[in-house]
A and B are shown apart, each in its own frame.
Chain A
Amino acid sequence: MRFRFTQMPIDALAARQELLDPGAGGFVAFEGWVRDHNEGRAVHRLEYEAFQALALKEGDRIVEEALQRFPVKHALCIHRVGSLDLTQMAVWVGVSAEHRGEAFDACRYIIDEVKHRVPIWKKEHYRDGDSGWVNCERCAAAPRHAHAQAHAHAHEHPHGGERSPELGADHGASHDHDAA
């Protein structure tokens, strides 16, 4: 399985071992970490939840797409669920390839698609005691807000569609949470 969940802290070194290949000359990894602020609010903890039955399928499809689109050797994505503290790793993506260019591209593709397509949700717990589901609360409360339109658009993104990774990256920038 090229996409999986864990309730335990992600072991990046062990994951990296799975991608070793004598034909690979490069390896790229992306780690998403829990940051202490988002959209102007002080965050002290995150909670991740997934609809695992579908998330595993969709995640696996994304990694498979990356392997089809880019000439890379191996790719893997591990996502954390449960409660995470500041600086902990929420997601790990690793790609090994003959050359670095494809490894960067495939890694970028996977994380961008995972953020937009896989049914995973995160709840921010703020320093002031408040909390909220990212991408859900504000648009629901004020659907005419500019953010709501951005979210609505994000949601119309076709599953497995032929969108370029660049577009995904641009789009995700407005409400990215991780420190990337």
Chain B
Amino acid sequence: MRVPTAGDARTIFRLGLPAAVVLAGLCLASPAAASTPTDWPDTDPVSTLRALLIFGGIPLALGALIALLTLAPQIARGSPKGDSRTWWGEPVWFGGPAELAESSVSGRKALSGDADVASRSTGSTAVASAPKPSSAGSTAIIAMSPDLAPGTSTAKVGGAGARW
């Protein structure tokens, strides 16, 4: 008679363990296959409208409530878009000449007084139509420099812009 070896024990264990797991799962889940008890009272079927209200309306209402609570502080403060009063800081240059800071404060001086500098330096007017900020709350615009499309002369300024 052949004596079982350690390899045989491992084989039995490998086959028996999955089978035991499957059997245990079936035994534990057997109550789910039971039919409805006969002593339970019969209730009226739920109408479609009522089901929609319960399973659709309540989640939607909860979502709207959470969104309202999230956005309430911002709504109470008002939209800061375009409101210059929300920015109190002085203009700051990092790595730029100090005299440019004042000319850029108003923007008008930079546009009129430095326009000739721009044309001399870049060989063009170097003034492009800026993309208008979107009227939507946080809709973003990414715009490449309109005066440096691929294939145009490289003796112009380039860059990109964004709104947030």
Do A and B associate with each other? no
